[in-house]
Amino acid sequence: MLRPVGRSPLRHRTSRLAGLIAVLLVAVPLGGCSGLDVFHLFGDKNDVGPDVPAERLYNEGLYLMNEKKNYKEAAKKFEEVDRQHPYSEWARKALLMDSYAAYSAGLYNDSISAGRRYITLHPGSPDAAYAQFLIGSSLWDQIPDITRDQTNTEKAMKELQEVVQKYPDTEYAVSAKRKIEVARDQLAGKEMQIGRYYLKKRDFTGAINRFKVVVTHYQTTRHVEEALMRLTECYMSLGIVPEAQTAAAVLGHNFPNSPWYKDAYTLVKTGGTEPRVNEGSWITKAFKSIGVG
C-alpha cells in the first residue's frame, strides 16, 4: 500500500528562502528610508552596479584633482574610465590623467604603469612625450642619497633620455635634460664616495678606478675637479709621477681658480716636480675627446 508522501524538509526550506527574498525585493522600494540595499546581502553594490558614463567619471576626476587636490581619489576615477570604457576617446585621455594624478599623489609605480600603458596603446599620440616624461620623473623623484644603491638613478636617466631622443622638439625634452644632469651628478657623487673610501683604505688602484669613471663619464658634473685632485694624490702615492703631473695640469688648465687645483699643485710641488701634460696619458685623451684642455 502506497504511503502518502510528506513535504520534504529541503524543499520546505528552499521555498521559505525564496519567499524571504521575494518579500525583501518588494519591501526595498516601500521602505527606502530604512537604507536597506538588497545588493549588500551578497556583496558590495559596486561589484554589480551599472557602468557610469565615461564623461561623468572623467569630469569627477578633474574636479577631485583641480578643485580638491585629492590626486589619489582622482586617479581612481580616471582608472574607472579606462576600466569601464576601455575603447573610448575618454579612456585615452583618462589614462594620461591617471598617470599625472598618480604622480602628483606620490604613487610612482601607478604613474609608471599608466604611462607605459598609454605609450603602448597610443605610441603616435602627441601626448606620448608627456607620458614618457612622467615615467622618467616618477623614477627621478625616487633618487636616493649617494650612500644608497643608485639603480633608480640609472633607470631615471634611461627613461628621461628616451624623452630627449624621441621627442627632442618638445618642452618636456628641455626639462628632461635638466633632470638628467642632476642624475648624472648623483651618479658621479656615488663614484666619488666609493673612491674616497678606497683612498682612505690606501687601496690606490681601487680609488683610481672610481675617480677615472668620474673623469671619463661625468666631466660636466661638479665632481670632476675633486676627482682630478684625488687622481693626483693617488698617483703621487704610487710613485706614478707623470700621471700625477697630468692630472694636476689638466685640473689647473680647466679650473685655474679651483681650490682643488691648489691642493693638487702643492702635492706635485712637494714631490719635487711641476704640473705638466703628458700627451700619452689617458687623462689627456679623455679631456681631448670632448674638446676640453
pLDDT of residue 288: 79
DSSP letter (8 states) at residue 40: G
Task: Compute the CA torsion angle 96, 98, 102, 107 (nearest 10 deg).
Answer: -100
**C-alpha cell recorded at residue 58:** 572623467
pLDDT of residue 47: 41
Dist CA 171 CA 132 (whole Å): 12
**SS3 annotation, 237-255:** HHCCHHHHHHHHHHHHHHC
Dist CA 225 CA 221 (whole Å): 9
What domains lie within the chain, and their CATH numbers?
A: 53-135 (1.25.40.10), 188-288 (1.25.40.10)
Show the CA angle centred on residue 90, arms to residues 108 and 55, nearest 5°.
Answer: 110
pTM of the model: 0.77
> Are residues 267 and 233 in contact, defined by beta-carbon separation less than 8 angstroms?
yes
Mean pLDDT of the chain: 86
Q: Which tens digit of pLDDT belongs to each residue from 266-275?
A: 999 999 999 9
Show the CA angle centred on residue 154, arms to residues 215 and 260, nearest 5°.
Answer: 25
* 229: enclosing H helix or E strand: helix 224-238
Q: Which tens digit of pLDDT belongs to each residue from 186-245?
A: 999 999 999 999 999 999 999 999 999 999 999 999 999 999 999 999 999 999 999 999
pLDDT of residue 289: 58
